Amino acid sequence: MSSSLSSVLDAVRKGTPVVLLDNPQREGEADLILHAKFCTPQNIRLLRISAGGLVCLGTDTASAQALGVPYAADILRESRSPTLRALALGKAPYGDPSAFSIWINHKKTFTGITDQDRSKTIMEFEKMIDGAENEKQMASAFIQNFYSPGHVPLLIARSLEERKGHTELCLSLAKQAGMSPAMVMCEMLGEDWKALEWKKAQALAKKMGWPAVQGEEII
């Protein structure tokens, strides 16, 4: 049984992890998510141990446009390299265009991959998004404090009318919770080398005291 939307939004506001299933007919995968404001080194470790997938940072279209950051597929399509243009993804096997943009590090990280470094990158990104007074200030702060390539993949949410993936669902939760548009998500993987089954993801959520919700209950 899924948790109520109100309990999920309360968890987002408090920095409690949430287990989110997109749609059984889409990816059919559960992600462990939380707001970027609370992505401490301890929570980065929690994500990689309890979920095990790629730790990603999602933001909304408006913020990405303010930063001047495009989708990775668009960067490849506009490349001078025929190989890169040929590699540009149209739609993923599950039917949607990719949400991936560039990979970033904060300039005050070392390698960028440690729990401390990824936490720094993610939390500073959220501070920048939340604290900027206007688009120009946000873009300037981004260039001044971050670089690419890095170790944190940035995802850009489309509208829920265009796409109903984890990225869009996460950013919808952030908006409904009254939080800044910066959410962290990590795919939950099983011991069978596949995505963790929803029932097992729910069981883990119950054990840990995390709310669990399906995408259709958010929209």
**Residues labelled as active-site residues:** 31, 56, 94, 105, 151, 187
What is each CA distance from 203 to 63, 200, 215, in whole angstroms? 35, 5, 18
Instruction: Give the side-chain half-sphere CA count within 13 A for 91.
Output: 9
What is each CA distance from 31 to 80, 110, 160, in whole angstroms? 35, 28, 17
Q: Which residues contact 200 (CB under 8 A, 6 or more apart)?
A: 190
Query: Residue 101's closest CA among 47, 52, 148?
Result: 148
Q: Under DSSP, is residue 63 helix (H, G, I), strand (E, B) or coil?
A: helix
Query: Residue 211's closest CA among 14, 42, 36?
Result: 14
